[in-house]
């Protein structure tokens, strides 16, 4: 091996080592992103813990309308829960209360952060309510 070939080999080794270090340094950043499944699970947990969800008297489960991933590694999820009668969005009806038989729903928006943050999801707000006749 000549001196010239040895120099080229050494330079190539340094470049390869530099790329390996750069890739290793960026790996934890890529792992901090939230997946759609994690965002869905976290947002359901947060909504189920809210008082606006707990007061709904309904046999229907919480549904995910959408969960959109952002380039920043965050997600925004929209969830809703239906009730068979509009008055059941605010709890079980009293015996003297008259309820209309129309399907009503309440919806929530939850913003989900990256896994590296202490709190992965936070309850944003009740974003909509459809209760005809109430």
Residue spans of the domains in the chain: they are 1-31, 34-130
Neighbour count for residue 98 (Cβ, 10 Å): 7
CA–CA separation, 75 vs 113, rounded Å? 7
Return the closest-CA partner of residue 43 out of 110, 107, 108, 105: 110
Instruction: Give the model's pLDDT for residue 115.
Output: 64
pLDDT for the residue numbered 2: 60
* Whether the predicted model's global pTM rises above the 0.75 cut: no
Alpha-carbon separation of residue 99 from 84, 117, 118, 128 (angstroms): 10, 44, 43, 20
How would you write the pLDDT of the chain (134 residues) with one tens digit per residue? 565 554 555 454 443 434 444 444 444 444 467 888 988 998 999 999 999 999 999 999 999 999 999 888 888 999 999 999 888 998 888 888 888 888 899 999 998 887 666 567 666 667 777 766 55
């Amino acid at each position: 091996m000549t001196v010239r070939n040895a120099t080229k080999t050494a330079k190539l080794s340094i470049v390869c080592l530099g790329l390996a270090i750069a890739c290793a340094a960026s790996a934890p950043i890529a792992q901090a992103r939230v997946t759609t499944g994690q965002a869905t699970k976290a947002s359901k947990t947060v909504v189920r813990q809210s008082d606006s969800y707990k007061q709904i008297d309904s046999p229907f489960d919480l549904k995910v309308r959408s969960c959109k991933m952002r380039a920043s590694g965050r997600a925004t999820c929209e969830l809703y829960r239906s009730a068979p009668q509009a008055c059941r969005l605010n709890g079980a009806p009293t015996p003297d209360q008259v309820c209309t038989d129309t399907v009503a729903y309440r919806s929530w928006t939850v913003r989900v952060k990256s896994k590296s943050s202490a709190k992965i999801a936070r309850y944003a707000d009740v974003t909509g309510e459809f209760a005809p006749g109430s």
